[in-house]
Structure formats: C-alpha cells, structure tokens
C-alpha cells in the first residue's frame, strides 16, 4: 500500500463519509478519515484496516483554518500528499426563516461552505504539485429549495458554484472537481430530521420513499459509488458536474 494515492474524506466517522472512506480504501487509496472528534473515527479506520486497507484518523473542525492546515499537513506527513479530497462533512440547523437564528445560519455556512473552501485550498497545493487530483463536494437535492432549510439549501447551492469555479481554475493541473447531490439517504442526519419533525424514522422514510421513482431510500454506499466514479483515473474528462443521486431526476 505504500505507493497508493492518498484520499481525505471529511465527516467520515459515520454516514455517507464513512461509506465513502471504506469504498475509496477498497479502490486502493490510503484514506484520511477526518471528523470533529478523532476518537469517533476509530470505527471507520478499523473497518478499513480489517479489510486490508490503510487509514488514518484525524480530528479537525473543518470550519477552522488553523485546524485545517494542521490536519492536511498531518495527512501529508503520515500518509502521503493528498490527491483526492471529498468534502462531505455537514450539519443541519433547520428552521423556518422567521425562526432561524444567526447562529443557525453561520454554523451551516461555516461547515459546508467555509469548510469546503478551507479544505480545498489546503489540499489543492498537493494536487497541483502532483499534476493530478480529484475534489468531490457533497451538495444535496435541497439546493433546489426545501422548506425549513434556507441555510442548508443556500450552502448546498453555493457548493455547486464552488465546484464549477474550482473545475475551471484547477483543470489545467490535472485536477477535476465535481459535486454529488444526494436525495434521501438513510443516515443519522435523516434520523435527526425525522426526530425534529416528530415522526418515527420508519414513517419518515416511508413518506420520502413514496416520492422516489426507484422506490427505495438511498444508502450511504449509493453515494460512495458515485464518488468512486468521479475519483477514478478514467474519469479525467468529467469536471464541473453536479450528479443528482436521488433514485430519480430530483427529490
Ligand atoms: P451525518 O451522518 O450527520 O455525518 C456528518 C459527519 O460530519 C458527522 O460525523 C459530523 O461529526 C461531521 N462534521 C460535522 N461538522 C463537522 C466539522 N465542522 N468538521 C468536521 N466534521 C464535521 O451526515 P450524512 O447524512 O452522512 O451526510 C454527509 C453529507 O451528505 C453532508 O454534507 C450532507 O449535507 C450531505 N447530504 C446528506 C443527505 C442525506 O439524506 N443523508 C442528503 C443530501 C446531502 P459529528 O458527528 O461529531 O457532528
């Protein structure tokens, strides 16, 4: 594994990030599992290790510039220069506009937009040096508008513009930048939403699935599979795209 390329996945302690980290390890990458709390990364790291892969747990708040610099430097020193970055970490602070606090707004912008910006800025220099790289940003079908998510929807739409601009700036260095916009995926995030609206997760999922053309909820592995495609060596002519992975054309 010592010659393998290095990938960073943020928010990889659980959910979509954990599935993505495991999938990239299967694809042959050494994976930095980044999340707020280093201890929370242990499960993903040991699952990768048991399957014969290589992973490193890194605790960092991606909305903090100093922590981001330290995290990316540590990955470069301990695993190798990162050439793949998946900006997956995310939070929800849902509320109707009239009840949304400034903190709710700033927290969501801080993690999704500022976090993806800081991580991309820190990681791109390794990609540019290598003349090869892949950045994948996690958007959402909520980018198209979703009641109670003025902050999240704005951030996820913003990530689409961010993706297209980085694709233009970094293309000549062999770096592609794409976004995935998941629909309903069963994770702790959607469980928390069900709780907030006062529904059991089963009823909440049933309601979501009734509007999904393929007739099932998404799994974290469905998103990991799309990440794997964008990151593939053979996907070098695909850049600046937003792929909706939602069991149909939209949520
Ligand atoms: P999740 O289960 O809530 O996992 C998100 C992870 O991000 C958590 O481990 C969380 O850590 C971490 N995180 C939050 N803030 C962070 C920060 N400042 N620095 C580092 N890590 C941080 O979410 P998920 O459902 O897997 O979602 C992953 C991504 O897909 C998110 O960007 C989300 O918006 C997007 N997405 C999800 C869905 C869906 O249906 N699930 C749909 C569309 C888009 P803590 O646990 O410590 O908070």
Residues 176-188, mean pLDDT to the nearest whole number: 98
Query: Does any ligand 1 atom lie closer than 6 A to the CB of residue 115?
Result: yes
> Alpha-carbon distance 59 to 164, whole Å?
29
Residues 39-50, mean pLDDT to the nearest whole number: 98
Q: What is the pLDDT of residue 4?
A: 84
Question: Out of 152, 162, 184, 244, which one is annotated catalytic?
Answer: 152
Q: What is the pLDDT of residue 1?
A: 37
Q: Say if residue 2's pLDDT is above 70.
A: no
Three-state DSSP at 99 gives helix
Q: What is the residue-averaged pLDDT of the chain?
A: 97
Burial status of residue 17 (CB atoms within 10 A of its CB: 0-12, 13-18, 19 or more):
buried
Q: Say if residue 5's pLDDT is above 90.
A: yes
Residues 168-174, mean pLDDT to the nearest whole number: 98
The alpha helices in the chain, defined as continuous H runs, are 15-26, 42-50, 65-78, 102-108, 115-130, 150-170, 188-196, 201-209, 220-231
Q: Which two tokens stand for residue 98?
A: 């009239």
Separation of 220 CA from ligand 1 center, angstroms?
11
> Alpha-carbon distance 54 to 12, whole Å?
14
Q: Say if residue 36's pLDDT is above 50.
A: yes
Residues 210-236, mean pLDDT to the nearest whole number: 98
Q: What is the pLDDT of residue 250?
A: 73
Separation of 114 CA from ligand 1 center, angstroms?
15
> Alpha-carbon distance 157 to 35, whole Å?
23
Q: Tell me phi and psi for residue 124, to 5 degrees.
A: -60, -30
Query: Does any ligand 1 atom lie closer than 6 A to the CB of residue 182?
Result: yes
Is 244 designated active site? no
> Alpha-carbon distance 76 to 42, whole Å?
20
pLDDT bucket at 3, cuts 50 / 70 / 90: low
Separation of 13 CA from ligand 1 center, angstroms?
9
> Is the overall model pTM greater than 0.95, yes or no?
yes
Query: pLDDT above 70 covers what percent of the chain?
Result: 98
| Closest approach atom of ligand 1 to CA 61 | 19
Residue nearest to atom 39 of ligand 1 (CA): 185
| Closest approach atom of ligand 1 to CA 13 | 9
Q: Say if residue 102's pLDDT is above 90.
A: yes
Q: Say if residue 251's pLDDT is above 60.
A: no
Asked whether the beta carbons of 203 and 209 are under 8 A apart, the reply is no
- Among 8, 12, 19, 36, residue to substitute to test ligand 1 (most atoms within 8 Å of Cβ): 36
Q: Say if residue 200's pLDDT is above 70.
A: yes
């Amino acid at each position: 594994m010592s010659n393998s390329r290095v990938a960073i996945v943020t928010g990889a302690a659980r959910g979509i990030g954990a599935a993505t980290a495991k999938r990239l390890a299967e694809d042959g990458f050494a994976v930095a599992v980044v999340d707020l709390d280093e201890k929370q990364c242990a499960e993903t790291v040991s699952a990768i290790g048991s399957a014969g892969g290589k992973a490193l747990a890194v605790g960092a708040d991606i909305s903090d510039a100093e922590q981001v610099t330290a995290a990316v430097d540590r990955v470069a020193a301990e695993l190798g220069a990162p050439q793949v970055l998946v900006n997956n970490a995310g939070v929800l602070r849902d509320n109707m506009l009239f009840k949304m606090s400034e903190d709710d707004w700033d927290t969501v912008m801080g993690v999704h937009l500022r976090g993806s910006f800081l991580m991309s800025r820190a990681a791109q220099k390794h990609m540019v040096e290598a003349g090869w790289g892949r950045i994948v940003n996690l958007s959402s079908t909520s980018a198209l508008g979703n009641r109670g998510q003025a902050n999240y929807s704005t951030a996820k739409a913003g990530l689409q513009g961010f993706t297209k601009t980085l694709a233009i700036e970094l293309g000549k260095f062999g770096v592609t930048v794409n976004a995935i916009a998941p629909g309903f995926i069963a994770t702790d995030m959607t469980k928390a939403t069900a709780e907030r609206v006062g529904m059991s997760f089963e009823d909440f999922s049933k309601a979501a699935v009734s509007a999904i053309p393929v007739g099932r909820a998404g799994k974290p592995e469905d998103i990991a599979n799309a990440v794997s495609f964008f990151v593939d060596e053979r996907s070098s002519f695909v850049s600046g795209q937003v792929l909706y992975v939602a069991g149909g054309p939209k949520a």
